[in-house]
Structure 1
Amino acid sequence: MTASRDVVVTGLGATTPLAGDAPSTWAAALAGQSGARTMDNDWSEKYEIPVTFAATIKVDPSEVLPRPEIKRMDPSAQYAMIAAREAWQDAGAPEVDGERLGAVVSSGIGGIWTTLDGWDVLRERGARRVLPMTVPMLMPNSPVAYVSLEFGAQAGAHSLVSACASGAEAIGYGIDMIRNGRADVVVCGGTEATIHPMPIAAFCASRTLSLRNDDPAGASRPYDVDRDGFVIGEGAAVLVLESAEHAAARGARVYAKLSGVGLSSDAYHITSPDPDGKGQVAAMRRALADAGVEGRDVVHINAHATSTKVGDLTETRSIRTVLGSETDHVRLSATKSMTGHLLGGAGALETLFAVKAVHERLAPPTINVAQPDPELQVPLVRDTPAQLPDGDIAAINNSFGFGGHNVALVVTNA
């Protein structure tokens, strides 16, 4: 094992509800823009779905990808390819032996559009009309398979599935691939394309979505006393990770280091977090220990913060348990207030935000918090970005998923 190998970020890519690339997404987040909008469809009337809005993708893949690729990829793979190609170019298209190149791209749900469209075709038109590419399109590893084919990644192509923690866990696995010597470069991230009437109806049935149809842009409001649920989103974010040695040898621009990974599982409930936050605490403590970072070094946290009554405050209590009085100098951001919840893509996008925050020393804002919950225990960045201090700093990105999955990643300055 070569666990001492430093892992750095050299490329960023994204397609999100805010914009069609990473720099524009980051700029929109700093400006406090919302990607939530009323959907242009008849689903609410046709299926009696009580929610009429979502954080839909800003730039349609048809504007970026050629038609043959569109036809053979589920939207989840389309988003991943757009983000991966941008990240690869942003990293300077590194020259690397395919056997030293890995890919880890996760999705929490996979090709739901392909699955349900295929079922509709079977029912309405018969088995002979089902597309022969249906299975390669619907499988959850389809996005990473296409990414690995794109760049010739032969060190391993992996797709970890841990619900809303999937994207962050993919990045954690990418870090491990470099640390243990399997790869010098890893393309990793998360993607999701679930804005379809069935998943929306299912989330409505579980009473987890906001019902603010009259105010989509103001619906995702983490930590506000009037929060009433999350806003479903879609998109992808991909990072290019490299060993510090490999990046230095080719003179690559480095955004930040990914210094710590912490994983845990609640073993408590299939959807609800442990109210004591023990798993979240364990994940953060493990990530900090892995990074060799003290609580006093943590100046920023990008919270999981989905805008649910229970989840938001459980996380902030966990943060204070981990950091104690050092919590008072942390700047907390809840970027789902702008992007909505990208499910399996959320952890990757929010890691990208944490990397940019450390690199530019700016914590993005949380919008829509008119009345902060009096039980909020961490200083919240509201409405406008907050400056982060000079010197050596660290940030944490938290991602938690149905099933009790907890992932914390520590980002430090390069």
Structure 2
Amino acid sequence: MTTTKSPRDALVTGMGFCLPGRGAPTATPEQFWTAVAHGDSFLAQDDGTYFGSVPLDPESVVARLPEIPPRFLAKYSDIHLYGLLALLEACEDATLDWRTGALREAAVLAGRNATADAIVDTYLPVLLADTRHISPREARAVLFRNVLGAVMSDVETTQAGLVGATGPSYTLSCGCASSAVLIGNAARMIAAGETDIAVVTGADYWRESRLRQYAELEARSVMGSEPQTATLIDEPMRPYDERAAGLNYGNGAATLILESREHARRRGARSYGRILGQTTTRNAQPNLALDTEGAGAVRAARSCMAGRASPDEIDYVNGAATGDRAFNLMEGNIMPAIFGERTAGLPVTVQEAVFGHSGAPLGVIGVAATLQMMGHGHIAPTANCEKPAEVCTFDPVPGTEGRTARVDLALSLNYTIGSVASAILVGGSDD
């Protein structure tokens, strides 16, 4: 590895979550690691369906956010609460007191992907309101929810408003790579001296009842053929497994705190590790086509490593398989193109079957899981992978135990419909 220490290095000093859990959200880094380390899965619902729901207790949310009057908080949608709660956990983990201005000059960046359900839930009441009989108070409530939630920048706006941030603040949407691209943007802003600290969040929301309608329509559209991917409702997703048939969706948010090395050092913060580089590419494909060769991801990985590390130095890859055969095949082609003959023994795992296919949070989740593996000296397994598919040219670490291993350098990959690919080079803590 050719990297050297610099005051402008981007260190990850905090992580927080509001993800599916068992009876309560997965919130803290400790809860997150416990689930990931053992390949746990929080997707099975009591009615026999599979979906990553995030149970929120209204009273505990009010207690966590006394700065927001309850009458206003009641108008926030679930995705706003996911983002705020993940932010609070990340600040606590990073020992940053936002109430005393610790994030006053921070960049606040949010990734969004699946906006349809959140926007429908807030905009539909506007369209259906009986303007002749609705009371002024009810009209104000409908409009407040719409202004707050019918735009893609809603999570970033609520986060930045809570902490009083005055730094760069925006929302980015490029599918499941959204928060991964933002991690790269944040690291570049830190390197350029534009900010000393950045909050990066990925948040998404699906309404489970609508997913069933979508899945039934999807099944109808491919009747008589053998689809390579599908939205699964009644069976679990199995990334890298020979039984892979599709994906289960999941709600939630995940947040990372990135700081310049000099800023973290001044306040005595500990570091999980470093963001050494990030590259975003796109295949020259039609809109919805999937390049099963993964040429864009290969270029992203090579560019991300260039001048920093060689493929032989990579100890682990956090993949992006969604639990369908098409992505299994694609990653089975990507890894040999990057790593050559050492691919067969290279551990490549993914956490999607733990929390569900959550869209925009996936970039943050992948980096957070990778940093936890580095810190614990343990490679987490691929949840729900028991019988690795033949097309997987790498080691998906099946089962629930994982393995002890030193991880100094890793790649975290994300890709999405539209052929956008992101690669992040992650380094362990050098404190």
**TM-score if structure 1 supplies the norm length?**
0.88
Equivalent position of 1:62 in the other structure: 58
Q: Which residue of 2 aligns with 1:21?
A: 27
Distance 1:99 1:339 in 2: 32
Query: Over residues 276-326 of structure 1, what are the superposed CA-to-partner deviations in whole Å (9 max), with x where a residue is unaligned?
Result: 211111111122126x01112211111101011111220231122012123
User: Is the Cα contact below 8 Å between 2:388 and 2:398 reproduced in 1?
Assistant: no
The aligned counterpart of 2:416 is 401
* C-alpha distance in 2 between matches for 1:210 and 1:360: 34
The 1:68–1:196 alpha-carbon spacing in structure 2 relative to 1, beyond 3 Å, is: farther
Amino acid at match of 2:420: H
In the alignment, is residue 332 of structure 1 matched against residue 329 of structure 2? no
- How big is the shift at 1:212? 6.0
Cα distance 1:87–1:205, how it changes in 2: closer, same or farther (>3 A)?
Answer: same
Letter in 1 for 2:405: L
Q: Are the counterparts in 1 of residues 105 and 166 from structure 2 also a CA contact under 8 Å?
A: yes
Q: Following superposition of structure 1 onto structure 2, how do residues 118-133 of structure 1 map, counting pairs within 5 Å?
A: 118-120=123-125, 122-123=127-128, 125-126=130-131, 128=134, 131-133=142-144
- 1:368-414 superposed Cα distances (whole Å, 9 cap, x missing partner): 22321112111111121222226xx1111111112221111111111
For 1:274 and 1:374, the matched residues in 2 are separated by 19
CA distance in 2, matches of 1:378, 1:33: 21
* Corresponding position of 1:372: 388
Pairwise CA distance, 1:241: 0.2
For 1:200 and 1:176, the matched residues in 2 are separated by: 40
1:156 aligns to 2:161 (yes or no): no
RMSD between aligned residues? 2.4
Partner of 2:426: 411
Secondary structure of 2:332's counterpart equals: helix
Q: Name the structure 1 match of 2:328.
A: 312
Report how far residue 187 of structure 1 moved: 0.6
Task: Quickly say closer, same or farther: Cα 1:298–1:64, change in 2 above 3 A.
Answer: farther
Q: 1:262 aligns to what?
A: 279
Aligned equivalents of 1:394 and 1:360: distance in 2?
A: 14
How far residue 272 of structure 1 moved from its aligned partner, in angstroms, is 3.5
**Structure 1: gaps (5+ residues):** 41-50
1:196/1:140 CA distance change after superposition, 3 Å: farther
Query: Contact 1:36–1:231 at 8 Å: present in 2 too?
Result: yes
Q: Structure 2 vs 1, CA of residues 204 and 347 (structure 1 numbering), >3 Å: closer, same or farther?
A: farther
Question: Per the alignment, in what secondary structure is the counterpart of residue 424 of structure 2?
Answer: strand
What is the distance in 1 between the residues matched to 2:167 and 2:129? 42
Structure 1 position 53 matched with structure 2 position 50 = yes
1:412–1:96 Cα change, 3 Å: farther
1:83, 1:237 within 8 Å by CA — same for their partners in 2? yes
Q: CA deviation at 1:185?
A: 0.3
1:279 aligns with 2:296: yes
1:80 maps to 83
Deviates more, 1:358-367 or 1:68-77: 68-77
**How many equivalent residue pairs?**
394
Structure 2 unmatched ranges of 5 or more? 63-69, 220-228
Cα separation, 1, equivalents of 2:344 and 2:251: 33
Question: Quick one: distance in 2 between partners of 1:61 and 1:107?
Answer: 24
Q: With structure 2 as the length reference, what TM-score do the two structures score?
A: 0.85
Shift of 1:73: 2.0
**1:227 aligned residue:** 244
Which of 70, 74, 78 is equivalent to 1:71? Answer: 74
Helix, strand or coil at the partner of 2:357: coil
Amino acid at match of 1:398: L
Q: Distance in 1 between matches of 2:243 and 2:339?
A: 27
What do residues 173-203 of structure 1 show as CA deviations (whole Å, max 9, x unaligned)?
A: 2112211211000010201111343355335
Describe the SS at the equivalent of 2:178: helix
Name the residue aligned to 1:44: none
Distance 1:212 1:194, change over 3 A: closer
Which of 1 and 2 has greater Rg?
2
